[in-house]
Chain A
Amino acid sequence: DIQMTQSPSSLSASVGDTVTITCRASETIFSYLNWYQKKPGRAPKLLIYGAVNLQSGVPARFSGSGSGTDFSLTINNLQPEDYATYYCQQTDSTPLTFGGGTKVEIK
């Protein structure tokens, strides 16, 4: 199984900050990497697919980069509604696996 390792597991940031979350795969997954936002009591929301493609309706302050084994999610100009937990997911091979999550908290 492909292991997905996210870092950090949590971070504190202020409104307006730029935040970067990293995700490392245990073997190459090419660009089959998705990012989701999860808020308590709500379903996950797809933000980025194929490592770099912004899902329709998602603000442009979210961006993704990377390929192979190393990926990142960047949030520019952090907004109050961005406080949530973020998960990466590989879909290169089964079982599909998620990272452990990164909780973005208010500083």
Chain B
Amino acid sequence: QVQVAQSGPEVKNPGASVRVSCTTSGYTFNSFNINWVRQAPGQGLEWMGWISTYNHNTKYPQKFQGRVTMTTQASISTAYLELRNLRTDDTAVYYCTRDRSYYGSVTKNAFEVWGPGTVVTVSS
């Protein structure tokens, strides 16, 4: 069956960078695209961006432009999220999630399969 695992919790100082990994199994990695979503304590869900697993195109909200990079390594069915210049308000649970439709675009889709989340704490 389809499974998604994420890397473990991280504690970072303000100004540092963090990289979260998302390893999938049970399906053809390149057939479904990946999104990243985060949830800060007591807050709602926030979309951080999308990466095409077959051509590596990305789409990031303006809020994260210049601070975020999403990549993939198809040989190990893994996607990565890197967030730089961390601030205390980046403290959140970070989720990777797979699109519902294969070979879809960034829009007109739904987030069908979710990883368990990675807690990132930014504190001095």
Give the B-binding residues of A (Cβ under 8 A).
32, 34, 36, 38, 43-46, 49-50, 55, 87, 89, 91-101
Contacts and interface: CB of A to CB of B under 8 A. Distances in A.
Given A36-B45, A100-B44, A46 B107 contact: no
17 contacts: A32-B107, A43-B114, A43-B115, A43-B116, A43-B117, A44-B37, A50-B110, A87-B45, A89-B111, A92-B107, A94-B59, A94-B61, A94-B106, A98-B45, A100-B44, A101-B44, A101-B45
Contacts of A101: 44-45
- Chain A at the B interface: mostly helix, strand, loop or mixed? loop
Given A43-B114, A44-B95, A49-B100, A91 B59 contact: no
A18 to B, nearest CB: 24
A36 B37 CA distance: 13
A87 B112 CA distance: 14
B46 A46 contact: no
A95 B61 contact: yes
A12 B61 CA distance: 34
A95 B107 contact: no
A43 B47 contact: no
Given A43-B115, A95-B61, 15 more contacts: A32-B107, A32-B108, A38-B39, A49-B112, A87-B45, A89-B45, A91-B107, A91-B109, A91-B110, A92-B107, A94-B61, A94-B106, A95-B62, A96-B47, A100-B44
Contacts of A44: 37, 45, 95, 97, 111, 114
Q: For the complex of A and B, list the 6 residue pairs with the smallest distance between their C-beta atoms, beginning with the closest.
A: A43-B114, A95-B61, A49-B110, A96-B47, A98-B45, A34-B110
B108 A92 contact: yes
Nearest to B47: A96
A44 B115 CA distance: 9
Interface in B31-76: 35, 37, 39, 44-47, 50, 59, 61-63
Contact of B100 (A38, A46, A98): A46
Contacts of B106: 94, 96
